[in-house]
Amino acid sequence: MGYKATTGGLFAFMVVLFIVIGYLIGGFFLGNWIAGTILFLVIAAVMNLVAYFYSHKLILRSHNAKIIDEQENPRLFNLVKEVAYEAGIEMPKVAIVPSDTPNAFATGRNEDNAVVAATEGILHTLNDDELKGVLAHEVGHIQNRDMLVMSIAATLAGAITFMARMVWFQMIFSRRRVNPIFLVAMVLAPIGAIIIKLAISRKREFGADKKGAEISKNPNALASALEKLDAENKRNPMKSKSTTSSSLFIVNPFKSSAFVKLFSSHPPTEERVKRLREMARNFSYM
126: phi then psi, degrees, rounded to nearest 5: -105, 150
Cα gap 163→30, rounded to integer Å: 14
Kind and range of the H or E run holding 100: none
Amino acid at 133: G
Q: List strands edge to edge, sheet with 66-68.
A: 66-68, 93-97, 115-119, 104-107
Decide if 204 contacts 144 (C-beta within 8 A).
yes
Amino acid at 91: M
Kind and range of the H or E run holding 91: none
Kind and range of the H or E run holding 95: strand 93-97
Our answer to whether residue 227 is catalytic in this structure is no
Out of 72, 111, 120, 138, pick the active-site residue.
Answer: 138
Decide if 208 contacts 182 (C-beta within 8 A).
no
Bridge pairing between strands 115-119 and 93-97? parallel
Distance from the first to the final alpha carbon of the chain: 27
How does 176-193 read in b/e, with b if 16+ C-beta sit within 10 Å? eeeeeeeeebbeebbebb
Catalytic residue numbers read 138
